[in-house]
Chains A and B, each alone.
Chain A
Amino acid sequence: EPEVTQTPSHQVTQMGQEVILRCVPISNHLYFYWYRQILGQKVEFLVSFYNNEISEKSEIFDDQFSVERPDGSNFTLKIRSTKLEDSAMYFCASSSTDPGPQHFGDGTRLSIL
C-alpha cells in the first residue's frame, strides 16, 4: 500500500540553526500538508499546499517557516531559525482529493537544543 515517507526520523539541531524536513507524498496525490504534535498535545495544522502554492496556513506558520515542492516527488518544510519551542513531531500528509482523507507519514522528531 502506498505511503507517505518522511526523513529523517529524528533531527537534533542547535537553537538558531536552520532545519529542513523532507517528505515524499503518495505519488498520485495533489494536496500536501504539514502538521506538528508537541509531546502530550494535540496534532496541530501548520500549512496546506496545492498547485505549487500555499492554500491555507495557521497562526503557527509564521515567517520562520516555509514550504517547497522542489521536484515532482518531494515536499519540504524549512524552519529558518529554530527555537526551543519548535521541538515537536512534525507530520507530513497528502490527499488525492479535496476534501478527501489525509494520509500521514510517521513523522520527524525535531529536538532543538
Chain B
Amino acid sequence: EDQVTQSPEALRLQEGESSSLNCSYTVSGLRGLFWYRQDPGKGPEFLFTLYSAGEEKEKERLKATLTKKESFLHITAPKPEDSATYLCASRGTGFQKLVFGTGTRLLVSP
C-alpha cells in the first residue's frame, strides 16, 4: 500500500534561517509527488508537482526536489508569512487518489 511519511512533525525557525522538510514515499509507479501548503481552517493550497527523480521546481523562497524515495522542500530565508503546515502527497499508477502525509508544521518567528 502506498505510504507517505513526513519529517519533522514540527519545525521552528527564526526569520532568515533556511531549512528543509522531508517527505519519504513508497508507491508503485509514481505518477506525481505533490506539495501543498495548508493554513489553519483552510484547504490545501497547491505548490508543486514533481514527476521524476532529479526534477526540481522553485517558487519564491521554496524549492522542491525529488529522488526515487524522497522529496525535499527547501525553504530559503523564510519569513513569518511562510508559517503553515506543508503537506506532501503521492499518486501511484492506476490511481487517481492522492495519498497524503501527516504534514510538517512550520513556524517562522520574526
Contact = CB atoms under 8 A, between A and B. Distances in A.
Interface in B69-110: 87, 89, 91, 95-103
Interface stretch (A11-19, A72-80, A98-106): A98-106
A87 interface: no
A95 B89 CA distance: 15
Interface in A30-58: 31, 33, 35, 41-45, 48, 50, 55-56, 58
Given A31-B96, A43-B100, A56-B97, A101 B45 contact: no
> For the complex, would chain A's binding face be called helix, strand, loop or mixed by DSSP majority?
strand
B34 interface: yes
A25 interface: no
A102 B98 contact: yes
Nearest to A91: B43
Contacts of A98: 96
**Range of interface residues on chain A?**
20 to 34
A102 B43 CA distance: 11
**Range of interface residues on chain B?**
20 to 34
A35 B91 CA distance: 14
B97 A101 contact: no
Contact of B43 (A50, A100, A107): A107
A48 B96 contact: yes
B100 A102 contact: no
Contact of B95 (A56, A105, A107): A56
Interface in B37-56: 41-46, 49
Contact of B96 (A44, A55, A107): A55
B43 A42 contact: no
B44 A104 contact: yes
Given A42-B100, A99-B91, 16 more contacts: A31-B96, A41-B102, A42-B102, A43-B89, A45-B98, A55-B96, A56-B97, A91-B43, A91-B44, A93-B43, A101-B34, A102-B46, A104-B36, A104-B44, A107-B42, A107-B43
Interface of B: 31-32, 34, 36, 41-46, 49, 87, 89, 91, 95-103
